[in-house]
Amino acid sequence: MPLPSIQALLLLLATFWVQAPSQDTREVIRRDVCIIGGGASGVYTAIRLRQRNYSVVVIEKEGRLGGHTETYLDPDTNTPIGFGVALYQDSPETVDFFTGLGVPVERILPGGGTVQRIDLRTGEAVAPYPGNTSEALARYVAVLQQYPYLATGWSLPDVVPEDLLMTFGELTAKYDLGAAMEVISLYTQGVRYWLDYPAVYILKFMSLALMQALQTGFLQTARHDNSEVYRAALTELGPDAMLHSVVVNSSRAGDAVHQLTVRAADGTSTLIEADTTVLAVAPAGDVLQGLDLDASEASLFGRFIHGHYYAGLVKVANFAPDAQIINRGADTPYGLPDLPCTLMLEAVGVPGLVRVSYASEEPMTALAVQQAVVEDLGRVVGGNGAEAEFVAFADHSPFEMSVSREAIEGGFYQAAGGLQGHRNTFYVGATWEFPGASPIWQAVDRLMPSIVARLGG
């Protein structure tokens, strides 16, 4: 084989030289809006902006869109089983969002199955709390009707009424709501301990719209696959959804194009340039590391506290096929279970699979939660639960972002409202309107004119 000439070698070297990576290899992407977080609020914002012909990019940490919406595909029966967001309050925006992405919805009335109340610390049955539940719920609705502004956002009056500031325990005593507590606690799963909490959070969570849905029904996806809409959104967004990606640094001036450096799990970095940033993640934990917070943002975000909420699916023999077990305290106020604890164990229609939920005020490891649930299951199905095995698990923390009574009284939410648009940054999602996806989407629609105004629209 003839030796290559010096010239040919030099040519080869030069080619490599040209192709060799430079120091800053960041691809630059220019969009109208950069959305951080690809859960319910981020995806909805992206789809709505694209409908108005604005360009977007969605930065999502996980390898899928949907956030709290989680689905397990049972390999034996090929059945999708949701263990996160499942039911939606009926609203035109919700129907439009689903059907626009090719996902039909249907109406479903809650309840139906037989509920067993069990103190999971002992496995003993607990009697229902005495009193007339319908009458207590009617009293609860009458309280809600005094504060109609709770239905939309956090536009609290300057002097916040004492009913909203007192603990939910005090409100319960004041209006004799004990017989409504079981229903309220079931629909406000995952909040911190109900009775100690400023009442406004329970009143926001168990809203008039939610009370209405208990009577008229919720929406669910007709093909019973709660993640279908997010897979459709991923297809629709294509490369505009950046999965496995987080923001590592940002510069968000109010009068200049925003620059955000995004790093993907494979190590590649991208520079996003956008007119506006939308934060669709709870402002807590790692997402704050990459954001250039100013003093007002940092001081507001620093006041939030939150609970810890876990959900999963467990494979276990001997669990009755239609059982729904709720954890109640035999000797606790209103039968509310003490946190941390399992909240609910319910059959999901696939034999041997049980959906579980668990709440804690302090963070817990997945292993600690799973061990506690397995022990509880042992007290229900007999044996020691050793046969029980988690096939799916999700940590939904941070869940239920909240602030203290003093902060609410001191105008926290008025100040937080003033953050919308500050430094061309907008905030959507469960921190700013909760609990359900439908009210969160309605809040996005209310914010849309302000976002569009920044885009020269």
Ligand X SMILES: *[C@@H]1O[C@H](CO)[C@@H](O)[C@H](O)[C@H]1NC(C)=O
Ligand Y SMILES: Cc1cc2nc3c(=O)[nH]c(=O)nc-3n(C[C@H](O)[C@H](O)[C@H](O)COP(=O)(O)OP(=O)(O)OC[C@H]3O[C@@H](n4cnc5c(N)ncnc54)[C@H](O)[C@@H]3O)c2cc1C
Contact footprint for ligand Y (CB under 6 A): 36-42, 59-62, 67-68, 84-88, 190, 246, 280-281, 286-287, 309, 311, 396, 399, 429-430, 435-437, 440
What residue number has its CB nearest to ligand Y?
A: 39
Work out how close the CB of 310 gets to ligand Y at its nearest, in angstroms, rounded to a whole number. 8
Q: Give just the sign of the alpha carbon dihedral 75, 327, 191, 85.
A: positive
Query: Alpha carbon 44 to chain centroid distance?
Result: 13
Could you give the CA distance from residue 281 to residue 381 in angstroms, rounded to a whole number?
38
Work out how close the CB of 24 gets to ligand X at its nearest, in angstroms, rounded to a whole number. 6
Among ligand Y, ligand X, none, what binds residue 396 when CB lies within 5 to 8 Å by partner kind? ligand Y
Confirm or reject binding of residue 96 to ligand X (CB under 6 A): no
Residue 160 or 274: which CB sits closer to ligand X? 274
Among ligand Y, ligand X, none, what binds residue 62 when CB lies within 5 to 8 Å by partner kind? ligand Y
Which pair of tokens denotes residue 427? 């905030």
Which pair of tokens denotes residue 4? 């290559």
Among 269, 324, 332, 420, binds ligand X (CB under 6 A): 269
Work out how close the CB of 23 gets to ligand X at its nearest, in angstroms, rounded to a whole number. 9
Among ligand Y, ligand X, none, what binds residue 5 when CB lies within 5 to 8 Å by partner kind? none
Q: CB neighbours (10 Å) of residue 248?
A: 13
**Per-residue contact flags (x/-) with ligand X for residues 10 to 29, judged by CB under 6 A:** --------------x-----
Give the largest Cα separation in the chain, rounded: 99
Residue 134 or 155: which CB sits closer to ligand X? 134
Yes or no: say if 396 and 311 are a contact pair by the CB < 8 Å rule.
yes
**Per-residue contact flags (x/-) with ligand X for residues 29 to 68, judged by CB under 6 A:** -----------------------xx---------------
Among ligand X, ligand Y, none, what binds residue 60 when CB lies within 5 to 8 Å by partner kind? ligand Y
Among ligand Y, ligand X, none, what binds residue 261 when CB lies within 5 to 8 Å by partner kind? ligand X
Q: Which of residues 244-263 bind ligand X (CB under 6 A)?
A: 248-249, 251, 261
Residue 125 or 253: which CB sits closer to ligand X? 253
Q: What is the dihedral of CA 422, 428, 431, 436, to 10 degrees?
A: 160
Work out how close the CB of 197 gets to ligand Y at its nearest, in angstroms, rounded to a whole number. 17
Total residues at interface with ligand X (CB under 6 A): 11
Considering only 130-138, 168-176, 217-225, 402-410, which stretch makes contact with ligand X by CB under 6 A? 130-138
Among ligand Y, ligand X, none, what binds residue 398 when CB lies within 5 to 8 Å by partner kind? none
Q: Which of residues 351-380 bind ligand X (CB under 6 A)?
A: none
Per the document, the length of the chain is 457
Work out how close the CB of 56 gets to ligand X at its nearest, in angstroms, rounded to a whole number. 14
Among ligand X, ligand Y, none, what binds residue 249 when CB lies within 5 to 8 Å by partner kind? ligand X
Residue 87 or 264: which CB sits closer to ligand X? 264
Q: Which of residues 160-219 bind ligand X (CB under 6 A)?
A: none
Work out how close the CB of 353 gets to ligand X at its nearest, in angstroms, rounded to a whole number. 34
Work out how close the CB of 124 gets to ligand X at its nearest, in angstroms, rounded to a whole number. 24
Cis amide linkage into residue 80, ω under 30° from 0: no
Residues 6+ apart with CB under 8 A from 255: none
Among ligand X, ligand Y, none, what binds residue 67 when CB lies within 5 to 8 Å by partner kind? ligand Y
Residue 22 or 53: which CB sits closer to ligand X? 53
Work out how close the CB of 311 gets to ligand X at its nearest, in angstroms, rounded to a whole number. 32
Work out how close the CB of 399 gets to ligand Y at its nearest, in angstroms, rounded to a whole number. 5
Residue 79 or 249: which CB sits closer to ligand X? 249
Work out how close the CB of 253 gets to ligand Y at its nearest, in angstroms, rounded to a whole number. 21
Confirm or reject binding of residue 135 to ligand X (CB under 6 A): yes
Interacting residue ranges for ligand X, rule: CB under 6 A: 24, 52-53, 132, 134-135, 248-249, 251, 261, 269
